[in-house]
A and B are shown apart, each in its own frame.
Chain A
Amino acid sequence: MSFTLTQVFLLGVGYLSILFACAWVVEKGWLPQRLVRHPLIYVLALGMYASAWAFYGSFGMAERYGYGYLTYYLGIAGAFVLAPVLLLPLLRLTRTYQLTSLPDLLAFRYRSRWVGMLVTLGLLFGSMPLLALQIQAIGDVIHLLTNESSPYHLAFVFCAVITLFAILFGARHISLRERHESLLVAIALESLVKLIAFLILGGITLYSVFGGFEGLEKWLQVNGDSLATAVQPLEDSQWRTLLLLFFATAVSMPHIFHIIFTENPSEEALMQATWMLPLFLLLLALPVPVIFWAHQALESQLPAEYASLALGGYWTLLSFIAGLAAASGTIIVMTLALAPMLLNHLVLAVYQPPARFDIYYWLVWMRRLLIASLIFVAYLVYLVLSVKHDLATLGLSAFIGTLQFLPGILALLYWPSANRKGLLAGLLLGFGTWFVGLGLPLMFGVQELTWIGGTLELRGIDDWYTVTLISITLNILAFISISLTTEPSEEEKIGAQACSQDSLLHPKRLQLQARNPADMIRFLSIPLGQTTAQQEVARALAELNLSEQDARPYAMRRLRDRIQANLSGMMGPAVAQEIIDRHLPWKTADTDNDNDIHFVERHLEDYRSRLTGMARELDKLRRHHRQTLLYLPVGICTLGRDQEVLMWNRAMEELTGISGDEVIGSRIRHLPPPWNQALDSFLEDDRLQLYRQPLEVSGQRLWLSLHKARLDDPAALMGGTVLLVEDQSDFKRLEDELIHNERLASIGRLAAGVAHEIGNPVTGISSLAQNLKYDAEDPEAVRETSLQILQLTQRITRIVQSLVSFSHAGRHRDVRQFEAVDLHSALDEAINLISLSPSGRNRSYQNTCPTDLVVRGDTQRLVQVFVNLVANARDATQEQGQIICTAYRQDQEVRVEIHDDGCGIPEQELEHLFEPFFTTKEAGEGTGLGLALVYSIVEEHAGQVTVLSPSPLLGLGSCFQCRFPLPQSSQEKPDDHESYSDR
């Protein structure tokens, strides 16, 4: 049955109009997103792989090789089954670095513009036969349906409609990474149409030609042998080679790459495709033998490739629609994939639009122009080749060409030592062999090449197996041998680390010349123009959720990476890298920079789900340790060698009121005051600990203990410093209360002695006053008596003053307000106070401290120390016991020692002496806080207290030794109240 051209045209245009309508409905948002983003849509769109080759070419393959046609389906099905180890890592790479095509990916990995250009040219030449095949299929079917001798005009019209569709729905976005959902749904619809059409055709054929499965079985019993002898079954090695060939198409054919990676909605969708796509392909492959055998049974005169038309009648129109769906989908996606490659790796390599142009507008229109040009060139190729070769020949030669990229892609993931010299050499050899073996005979009809040594016969597609084997072997050998014998550049090593599955990229924490986002806009305006630069920086800031004011080095580095990735999505990685390297350069480092620990952590987080075994356990440990540090109730801040903040845990956030997100990645001196000064000065300080440092924060005084440690382990990822900040404000307040209470308790204990001491002079005064009335006549006696009274009152005054002075809690002084303390006087004061108590009498007190010896400190608190120590010595000694207070200078220290000849201290109690509430006294006699307070106060004075038993001076009893740092000026005299801060 023959149809008119108009009928076929209307049918074809009608079908394409449905496609337009479908894409338009999605574009308008009339289809729910849940449906548009469903994994099934993605899988059906991947079904675009089943192009005209699958629909028509499979029959040609079946005629030649029998079941050999299955390799087309099984090969790519194998690639999808291996998605977790092949496609998923590639998907992550393309997403992370905004890579949209195979040349992008290889140019990014091998850091070479030449690689990008060569791969683009290889794909262009490799894809052209496949594109021409699609147009040829449409043209041939039109010819068979209409009996028109020249179907070229109608094929051209279909090409024009397809071009319009591709431009309208496939080249709308500026960024190549943005998905074209309308296009994807339309392509999915095409896959559905061809699947349903093929299954219907298979079913109809089975029942109308054979009368069902039983009829087919009977027919095969009769004709099976002749069918088997009519084909040339593939040898095992040929079968495997074809499997490999079609396996490679998943990553090497531009249209498949585009749908798998660029139009991918989620990783989950890809994982669903691991079984859904093979199932889809199985359903497509199943009707092929039935339809082919029906073609044989009907003794159709049609070429085997168009066996699906053998049924005749209106069923042929169904075959036409399915073929049109298969061909148009492939043409659209392939040109959409090829156009940006040509733009990024060929056009932009030789010409970049000036900054005054609207770059977005220019890029989109260039892409559209390239899409139209590609389809037109494919149409020209179809005109030239269609009369010479069948679909299977064209398709097979295209697949063999693109197979050459497989070694480079696999090495990208699993061989970090591979380099661009090896890749380029391998590709040149592989493509050279392919061109000589298949290109010359197919395109130019060359039958033999004459060499100096002889003649090389070229048999074209009949030699496909030999050509494939030789080309891929030469390719691999050259790739491996040159990669092993030459050194990769530093840039290539970085690319290898970024792509490799087994290693981690360790970028350095460098600082940019641009100090803030405004600087970046200024620098990028040179190549991109002011408006584009502003838009790109704003876009990157929004994607990273950063503020325009954020000038942290870490934020700047992230911003730079994001801008580069976004530009890469528009212009390809090579051009993007060139722009970024030239216009957003790093500062020249004075010292070795550390690794970017944030990047490493982010990468590990992304990689987490892929870790197994020991690596997974180690990662759990890493997370555990990180959580421990984050939630430790002590402030922790880790710094790189350049003082960039790398960690700021929760306790630091609570203490400072500064969130980690704000501060991580900034330098310590850029923290808000007063933390910048406090932490910076501590970092500059030689001391590793500072105890109880006061810090005024928002009108409130905090007491902080600071500790630091250097991280200098050469085996570690990086060096730096870790800071610990303890908030001891509450502890300090409690301690002050304790000291005050202890002081009051001491006064209470001294009260009886004081009363006694005051009572004696009062009694003396009373007696003298009584005698005075009798001596009233004698002026000399009155004078002498009044002098005695005066002396006695002075004694009372001294006692009262001592008590008042001791009981005075006083204002606590910080280290900057310390004064010079006369140790001799302080010890005298302590001895006087202790000797007031009843139990303090009948002891021998000696103060042998030199009168010129001073330390820096708080007099009141040091007297408290000596009172507690002398009181303990008193309690430890018997009546007439000896207590010696002495002090001397030694080793840049001032040492104060309180010796007694008392009972001494058992060795097992020595280590507990300074613990709070530890006491050896009877219950009710001691609080157990005295020595703990001594320890605390001496520590505040940057000193240390130790105890020796027996006393080295007396040979028995014990000795408490307090060591204080020598004042900076040993000439300082008491009452010199100049503070450190005043110097």
Chain B
Amino acid sequence: MYFYRLVLVLVSLGYLFSPWFLVPWGSIEWYKPFLIWAGLIAATLWLEQKRRLEQL
């Protein structure tokens, strides 16, 4: 459950601050938002693994 709270905080922060991570449309760094997104997926995967280990 502590992990869930952490996830809740991360998602809330992501919701509030996600517009800041965007680059202008057509920028050569167009892939940046996707990289951040991939980072969040990796964090979620890591938390999910921790949860499974905790439940064992």
In chain A, residues 270-297, which have Cβ atoms closer than 8 Å to a Cβ of chain B? 271-272, 274-275, 278-279, 282, 285-286, 289, 293
B interface majority secondary structure: helix
CB B21 to nearest CB in A, in angstroms, measures 10
Given contacts A85-B4, A85-B8, A613-B1, 14 further A-B pairs with CB under 8 A are A84-B7, A220-B30, A227-B25, A228-B25, A228-B27, A233-B22, A239-B22, A240-B15, A240-B16, A243-B15, A243-B18, A275-B41, A278-B41, A612-B2
A537 within 8 A of B: no
CB B5 to nearest CB in A, in angstroms, measures 8
Q: Cβ of A271 and Cβ of B28 under 8 Å apart?
A: no
A221 within 8 A of B: yes
CB A452 to nearest CB in B, in angstroms, measures 40
Indicate whether A67 sits within 8 Å of B33 (C-beta atoms), given known contacts A85-B4, A239-B19. yes
For B3, list chain A residues within 8 Å (CB).
84
A417–B15 Cα distance when bound, in Å, is: 27
Q: Cβ of A220 and Cβ of B8 under 8 Å apart?
A: no
Among A74-82, A342-350, A397-405, A872-880, the stretch in contact with B = A74-82
Q: Cβ of B44 and Cβ of A67 under 8 Å apart?
A: no
Q: Cβ of A236 and Cβ of B19 under 8 Å apart?
A: yes
B1's contact among A240, A244, A612, by CB below 8 Å, is which?
A: A612
Q: Cβ of A74 and Cβ of B1 under 8 Å apart?
A: no
Q: Cβ of B27 and Cβ of A224 under 8 Å apart?
A: yes
Chain A interface size, as a band, is 35 or more
Q: Cβ of A74 and Cβ of B18 under 8 Å apart?
A: yes
A interface majority secondary structure: helix
B25's contact among A231, A274, A611, by CB below 8 Å, is which?
A: A231
Interface string of B27-56 (1 = CB under 8 A from A): 110100110011011001100100110010
Interface string of A471-514 (1 = CB under 8 A from B): 00000000000000000000000000000000000000000000
Binding site for A on B (CB under 8 A): 1-4, 7-8, 10-11, 14-16, 18-19, 22-28, 30, 33-34, 37-38, 40-41, 44-45, 48, 51-52, 55
A243–B16 Cα distance when bound, in Å, is: 10
B24's contact among A78, A224, A282, by CB below 8 Å, is which?
A: A224
CB B38 to nearest CB in A, in angstroms, measures 6
Q: Cβ of B55 and Cβ of A240 under 8 Å apart?
A: no
CB A375 to nearest CB in B, in angstroms, measures 35
A719 within 8 A of B: no
Q: Cβ of A271 and Cβ of B51 under 8 Å apart?
A: yes
For B28, list chain A residues within 8 Å (CB).
217, 220-221, 224
Indicate whether A609 sits within 8 Å of B55 (C-beta atoms), given known contacts A82-B11, A223-B26. yes
Q: Cβ of B4 and Cβ of A220 under 8 Å apart?
A: no
A274–B34 Cα distance when bound, in Å, is: 17
5 A-B contact pairs sorted by A residue (CB < 8 Å): A226-B26, A240-B18, A271-B51, A271-B52, A282-B37
Interface string of A84-107 (1 = CB under 8 A from B): 110000000000000000000000
Q: Cβ of B30 and Cβ of A289 under 8 Å apart?
A: yes
Indicate whether A82 sits within 8 Å of B45 (C-beta atoms), given known contacts A233-B25, A240-B15. no
For A285, list chain B residues within 8 Å (CB).
34
B34's contact among A82, A223, A282, by CB below 8 Å, is which?
A: A282
For A116, list chain B residues within 8 Å (CB).
none
Interface centre among B2, B40, B41, B51 (most CB of A within 10 A): B41
A81–B44 Cα distance when bound, in Å, is: 7
A62–B24 Cα distance when bound, in Å, is: 12
For B27, list chain A residues within 8 Å (CB).
220, 224, 228
A74–B33 Cα distance when bound, in Å, is: 11
Residue of B nearest to A277 (CB): B41
Q: Cβ of B7 and Cβ of A82 under 8 Å apart?
A: yes
Instruction: Give 6 nearest A-B pairs by CB, closest first.
Output: A227-B26, A66-B25, A612-B1, A224-B26, A275-B45, A84-B4
CB A506 to nearest CB in B, in angstroms, measures 23
In chain A, residues 873-920, which have Cβ atoms closer than 8 Å to a Cβ of chain B? none
CB B12 to nearest CB in A, in angstroms, measures 9
For A647, list chain B residues within 8 Å (CB).
none
